[in-house]
Amino acid sequence: MSVALGVAWLAVATSVPLVDDAGVSHRFSAPPARIVTLAPHLTELLFAAGAGATLVGRDAWSDQPPAARAAVDVGDAFRVDLERLAALRPDAVLAWGGGTPEATLARIRALGVPLLVLEPRTLDDPARHLELLGALTGHAASAARAAAEYRAALAALRLRYADARPVRAFYQVNEQPLYTVNGRAPLGQLIALCGGVNPFAGLPVLAPVVSEEAVIAADPEVVLTADGEGGSVASLRARWARWPALAATRRDAFVALDAGLVTRPGPRLPAAALALCTALDRVR
């Protein structure tokens, strides 16, 4: 960071606090030089904002971009190694609102480390988070470019699929119990963007448990999952092909999407949307 940019950042930082998605205001006297991330999409966002060099620690599942693997593994959201995290002397920790347990957040706060909670609620939030991380780290210009590219890619897909033929789509998060997503979950929003009709969109819980009978009654034209998490094409076919009258079975429309794309609400979400839309296109 140049001296002029550093002075400009300091003037802003001392006058305007950064407010995270938990409503907590943060003031920094200098851009954090040592950051720990506790979710893969947060790691990807930090790099996409242009601040990857600040990453010193990350959760066990952060594998993108490949450079992230050089950072110290501090465990996953449920088993954070607090001693290892504290030894890294981070200037800030980024946590996933709605994904990192409150008990974990409380233990990190007890260390006295600034903890920023980012909670993606809509498909547009990753762009906002890019801008927030740019402001936090002094990389506002590169973060703004990444946010603009993200918004443009998502807008193009929304326009492309605005009039697409609706496709009844069931998303299987887990086999047993049988979890799916509602319309407010990021995956539910992706389905809607692509012209998919989620029969469980109106349920109040983001990831509700449903019965096989309810899925059969909904008669989805395609059954989707994330490869390695909710199953595979083979496991979907083995389970749902027992009902030959099911529309998805008649079409052999079972799709396993890349879990590294569709389950991470980060900068690659437009690519996840394109993959999901393409899967629905095959059914149309």
Q: Are residues 104 and 130 in the same domain?
A: yes
Regarding whether 117 and 24 lie in a shared domain, the answer is yes
Same domain, 150 and 189: no
Cβ atoms within 10 Å, residue 195? 19
Residue with tokens 């496709």: 167
142 and 11 within one domain = yes
Round to whole Å and give the CA distance between 157 and 2: 38
pTM: 0.91
275 with 168, same domain: the answer is yes
pLDDT of residue 4: 45
Same domain, yes or no, for 130 and 43?
yes
- Predicted confidence at residue 17, as pLDDT, reads 81
* Residues β-bridged to residue 19: 25
Q: Which of 155, 174, 191 is the last residue before a domain boundary? A: 155
Cα-based distances in Å from 45 to 164, 166, 267:
30, 32, 6
Could you tell me if 48 and 108 lie in one domain?
A: yes
**CA 271 from centre of chain:** 12
Claim to verify: residue 133 and residue 203 sit in the same structural domain: no
Going by C-alpha positions, the residue among 191, 174, 189 that lies closest to residue 228 is 174
Q: What is the pLDDT of residue 139?
A: 97
Residues 125, 73 within the same domain? yes
Q: Would you state the pLDDT for residue 11? A: 44
Other beta carbons within 10 Å of 56: 19
Query: For the chain, what is the domain count?
Result: 2
| 187 and 128 share one domain | no
- Note down the domain range covering 85: 3-155
Domain boundary pick from 97, 128, 155? 155
Of 129, 155, 181, at which residue does a domain stop?
155
| Whether residues 11 and 151 fall in one domain | yes
pLDDT of amino acid 14: 42
Which of 100, 277, 62, 95 is CA-nearest to residue 189?
277
Q: Tell me, yes or no, whether 148 and 10 share the same domain.
A: yes
List, as one string, the DSSP characters of 117-182: EE---STTHHHHHHHHHHHHHT-HHHHHHHHHHHHHHHHHHHHHTTTPPPEEEEEESBTTTTB---
The predicted pLDDT at position 7 comes to 43
Which CATH number do you get for residue 119? 3.40.50.1980
Q: Which positions of the chain have pLDDT values less than 50?
A: 3-4, 6-7, 10-12, 14-15
